[in-house]
Amino acid sequence: MRFQAKIATIHSSIASKVQTGEWKAGIGRTRQGHWFAALIRNTKAYLTDTWNQGVLAAFDELVKRGLVPVARSI
């Protein structure tokens, strides 16, 4: 698998959306939306629907498990 963006950039984008409700400037909104949707999908797939620690914690947990949190395929 090839990364197209740095994990820190993706994490920062997700954090911006969660904390301010707005996407990060300088990165396409569509791209950020795809990252966010994929993160939600992967959270449900790998951490189950009962995950209640938040989106950023899910991102970190998926990385810790060696997964790509915003992968578009499961």
* pTM of the shown model: 0.89
CB contact at 8 A, 32 and 23:
yes
pLDDT given at position 72: 87
pLDDT given at position 56: 97
Which tens digits make up the pLDDT trace of 50-62?
999 999 999 999 9
Which tens digits make up the pLDDT trace of 8-49?
999 999 999 999 999 999 999 999 999 999 999 999 999 998
Task: Indicate the DSSP class of residue 65.
Answer: T
